[in-house]
Structure 1
Amino acid sequence: MSNSKDLPLAGEVAVVTGAARNIGRAIAVALGQQGASVVVNVHTSADMAEETAALVRAAGGQAIVHLADVSQPEGARGLIDAAVAKYGRIDILVNNAAVRRESRIDELSWEQWREVTGVILDGAFLCAQAATPWLRKSPAGAIVNIGGLSAHAGSSGRAHVIAAKMGLVGLTRALAYDLADNGVTANCVVPGLIDTVRGHSATGQPSHHGSHSTLLGRRGTSEEVADLVTYLCGPQARYLTGQTLHANGGAYLG
């Protein structure tokens, strides 16, 4: 069982935003496999969220689903309140929720800009702020923000995504400073060229993926990203904070 004391995250509680599928789902399952109870957050994809929670349980963990728009203060607070109401604590926060619609700068509307930056950057800030009192109480509090390759390598049609994802790098460093006195760590994991399904094109992949290749000659998996996130949340990573770690097979050497 996932609550066995021989698992590194036994007894801990993790909140994972944007966990309906792909990397978010893989992170939720990996944390559950390591003993954490997982709060699976989505905005509207309730059925997919329930599938994620079922996979966490099948892996031996505990899980609940909470629908919330984390780009809004009341949504973020409600998510954290639901986690505490169910499990009584929060030890891990993974800010994965994102919207990645593509539009060139001369066609990018203010509404599109705010939608993307609101979910990615505002959502991470609001969730971290709401979770901070509980993370400070944890003996091993950890925040992991999920960045993006295009924020570092550049791309067309993604000014809003790039600005928001690079903002996560700065937010991560600020959180590392603000929370260090309580031993809470904050790090950013940047996936790149991961084999996921997204609705950007006929291929289901972002357009900038076509202009990059990996040194290892293959795309990564969501599970490989999840393994890195889980490591950063575990006892072996307590001396890592404020860092940006790239998982991209050598597509970008940061």
Structure 2
Amino acid sequence: MTGEIERKVALVTGASRNIGRAITVALAARGCNVVVHVARDIASGEETAAAVRALGVSATVVSGDLSDPKTAAQVVNTAAAAYGRLDYLVNNAAIRPESPFESIKFEEWRDVLAVCLDAPFLVSQAALPYLQKSDCAAIVNIGGLTGHTGASHRAHVITAKAGLIGLTKAMAHDLAPLVTVNCVAPGMIATERQAKDGVITNPHHHAKRTNLLGRRGTPEDVAEAVAYLCSPGGRYITGETVHVNGGAYLS
């Protein structure tokens, strides 16, 4: 598969670690130059970029709050200027706090929707003029299992991820035939979680949910699905949600 998207350019948001980092590496392994977006953690972004460069392709690190329209446009313009083109956009940036419904503050609600739903809209809109010049343009939104099944303690996250499914379908209609737009929905993925108050906790819904394969997935499992949708083999797919959850949910 090496070289199938050689010399193309991808912008991956939220690429400092976990699924975002795995996506950048999977695209780089196929010959794609990658623009690595991080919100604030430049050091982690540079680690991702180093992993990309080790594969013999180029990486550029950009940062900023993508829920701000001016910043979203600036990030996209910087990405396109770095290589003179933009072929793929992966909207991966997200935050996933957990709180019982009655405890969610409105500010927390708005923060989640801003990062998980507003940002993909803003970045995709800013990227469109560049993508429309490509002969293989693709947008891949990263959704989530609970956007389809629901879960406790995640009303804000579930709402945002469910909205992302609708946005994907709407964009697929509006941007065809020049740009394909799909959603990859990970579930039951073993990721490196950040500690809160010194304690690392797994998502609340993981405690009760199982899947058919009897194991957690890896970030690389998700990345392979994204890479396929960006590859020549994925050009006849648009408006779809691809589930990567080991059989925890069958659509």
Same fold (TM over 0.5): yes
C-alpha distance in structure 1 between counterparts of 2:62 and 2:18, whole Å: 18
Structure 2 unaligned regions, length at least 5: none
In structure 2, distance between residues paired with 1:74 and 1:29: 28
**Could you give the per-residue CA deviations for residues 141-166 of structure 1, whole angstroms, max 9, x where no partner exists?**
00000001111111111111001001
Does residue 188 (structure 1) correspond to residue 183 (structure 2)? The answer is yes
Equivalences for 1:143-154 in 2 at 5 Å? 143-154=139-150
Could you tell me which of 16, 34, 57 is aligned with 1:20?
Answer: 16
Over residues 102-159 of structure 1, what are the superposed CA-to-partner deviations in whole Å (9 max), with x where a residue is unaligned?
1111111111011111001001000100001111110000000000111111111111
The 2-side partners of 1:235 and 1:181 are apart by: 15
Change in 2 beyond 3 A, CA 1:59/1:204 = farther
User: Which position in structure 2 is the counterpart of 1:239?
Assistant: 236
For structure 1, list consecutive stretches of 5 or more residues without a partner in the other structure. none
CA distance in 2, matches of 1:204, 1:94: 27
Q: Which residue of 2 aligns with 1:35?
A: 31
Query: 1 CA distance for matches of 2:215 and 2:101?
Result: 31
Matched, 1:53 2:45: no
Partner of 1:106: 102
SS at match of 1:188: strand
Structure 1 residue 59: Cα displacement: 1.8
Give the root-mean-square deviation of aligned CA atoms.
Answer: 1.4
Partner of 1:221: 218
Deviation at 1:199, TM superposition (A): 3.5
**Aligned pair 1:197/2:192, yes or no?**
yes
Structure 2 CA distance, aligned partners of 1:156 and 1:207?
7
Once the two structures are superposed, residues 152-192 of structure 1 have per-residue CA deviations (whole angstroms, 9 ceiling, x without a partner) of: 1111111110010011100110111111032x100000000
Provide the C-alpha distance between the structure 1 equivalents of 2:48 and 2:81, rounded to a whole number of angstroms: 20
Task: Give SS of 2:80's match.
Answer: helix
Amino acid at match of 2:13: T
Distance across 2 between alignment mates of 1:191 and 1:94 = 14
Aligned to 1:95: 91
- Supply the distance in 1 between the matched residues of 2:11 and 2:116 (Cα, whole angstroms): 15
Alignment: residue pair count: 249
Query: Structure 1-normalised TM-score?
Result: 0.95
* Alignment partner of 1:10 out of 2, 6, 24: 6
Show the counterpart of 1:249.
246
**Other-structure match for 2:171:** 175
The separation in 2 between residues aligned to 1:147 and 1:234, in whole angstroms, is 19
Shift of 1:204: 3.4
Q: Write out per-residue CA displacement over residues 50-94 of structure 1, whole angstroms, 9 at most, x where no aligned residue.
A: 000000011222101001111110111011111111101110000
Q: After TM superposition, list the pairs within 5 Å mapping 1:72-91 onto structure 2.
A: 72-91=68-87
Q: Secondary structure at the match of 1:181?
A: coil
One of 122, 126, 147 as aligned partner of 1:126: 122
Which deviations, in whole Å up to 9, do the C-alpha atoms of 1:217-248 show, x marking residues without a partner? 11101011101100000111100000001000
Q: Tell me which amino acid in the other structure corresponds to 1:247.
A: V
1:17-65 deviations in Å (ceiling 9; x for gaps): 0000000000001111111110000111111000000000112221010
Normalising by structure 2, we get a TM-score of 0.96
Q: Which residue of 2 aligns with 1:156?
A: 152
Moved more, 194-203 or 117-126: 194-203
Q: Which amino acid aligns with 1:127?
A: V
Q: Secondary structure at the match of 2:177?
A: helix
% same residue: 54
Q: What CA distance in whole angstroms lies between the structure 1 residues aligned with 2:15 and 2:187?
A: 18
